[in-house]
Amino acid sequence: MTTDRTGILLLVSGPSGSGKTTLCRRLADEGEAIYSTSCTTRPSRDGELDGHDYHFLDRDTFEQKVTNGEFLEYAEVHGNLYGTLKTEVLSHLIEGVDVVMDIDVQGADQVRNSNDTSIDAALVDVFVMPHTEEELVKRLTGRGSDSQDVIELRMKNALGEITHCSKYTYRLLSNTREQDYHQFKSLIVAERLKLSRFKNH
Ligand code: 5GP
């Protein structure tokens, strides 16, 4: 699909348990954007599919891709490496296709500082925030697939991530799933109207 405008890069961060992955996936499932599938060295969880949820790589393969300059950004999160391949993003933006990416606050800093004019023009960053700390604990423990140690590490990291919220243009305070998605989708719908995105404006 080619459009008369350049694509939007919707960058979404927020602590684990904020619901951001669900929002990103739904946007992609509804055909509003392409989901940028990240690479990771963490083991897959039950039900996760290689190539869909992540490209699951061993550390050597990941590091080789770093050396080859294949990543738009990468970071160590919760003790594992995560990164976005340039091929998941750049060509889509030029073709006018919107891309949604779910990455941590360190990766977001790198994307903001990428010095790539097509990224700068495309970027829309949003931080998804749980309503309260209690809600965050409930969501982190409710996933059921992670051990107590992992939950505690994620909680600590979550509170650290929240301190980066002020760097983002938009903040979405999580409420009900439907309300969150309505606001989230509204963002991309409004961004599509920006005159500067049209090739012949
Ligand atoms: P999870 O292991 O729960 O799927 O993800 C853990 C964290 O890694 C989340 O905060 C998620 O946003 C982040 N993450 C996922 N993919 C990437 C990526 O490609 N780059 C970076 N920097 N963070 C990522």
For 94-131, write each residue's pLDDT tens digit: 999 999 999 999 999 999 999 899 999 999 999 999 88
pLDDT digits (tens, 9 = 90+) for 29-58: 999 999 999 999 999 999 999 999 999 999
The pLDDT-based confidence of 26 (bands split at 50, 70, 90) is very high
> What is the β-pairing status of strands 99-102 and 34-35?
parallel
pLDDT at 155: 84
Among 104, 127, 147, the mutation site with the greatest number of ligand 1 atoms within 8 A of its Cβ is 104
Instruction: Record the pTM.
Output: 0.92
Measured in whole angstroms, the distance separating CA 136 from the mean position of its chain's CA atoms is 18
Strand duo 123-129 + 9-13: pairing: parallel
* Model confidence pLDDT, tens digit, residues 66-105: 999 999 999 999 889 999 999 999 999 999 999 999 999 9
Reported as a pLDDT band with limits 50, 70 and 90, residue 143 is low
Closest residue by Cα to atom 9, ligand 1, is 104
Contact yes or no for 99/7 (Cβ under 8 A): yes
- DSSP secondary structure letters along 77-127: ETTEEEEEEGGGTHHHHHTT--EEEE--HHHHHHHHT---HHHHHHEEEEE
DSSP 167: G
pLDDT of 156 reads 86
Q: What secondary structure letter does DSSP report for 152?
A: H
| Spacing, Cα 201 to ligand 1 middle (Å) | 36
Handedness of CA 52, 143, 14, 179 (dihedral sign): positive
Comparing 168 with 142, the larger pLDDT belongs to: 168
Residues forming a β-bridge with 128: 172
Cβ(177)–Cβ(26) under 8 Å?
no
* Dihedral class, residue 135 (left if φ above 0, else alpha if ψ from -120 to 50, else beta): alpha
Return the best residue to mutate from 23, 24, 38 for the ligand 1 pocket (most ligand atoms within 8 A of CB): 38
The confidence score (pLDDT) of residue 93 equals 95
For residue 80, give the nearest of 30, 41, 53 by alpha carbon: 41
The pLDDT confidence band at residue 1, using thresholds 50, 70 and 90, is low
Please say if the pLDDT value at position 178 is more than 90: yes
Say if strands 71-77 and 80-85 run parallel, antiparallel, or are unpaired: antiparallel
**CATH, range 9-194:** 3.40.50.300
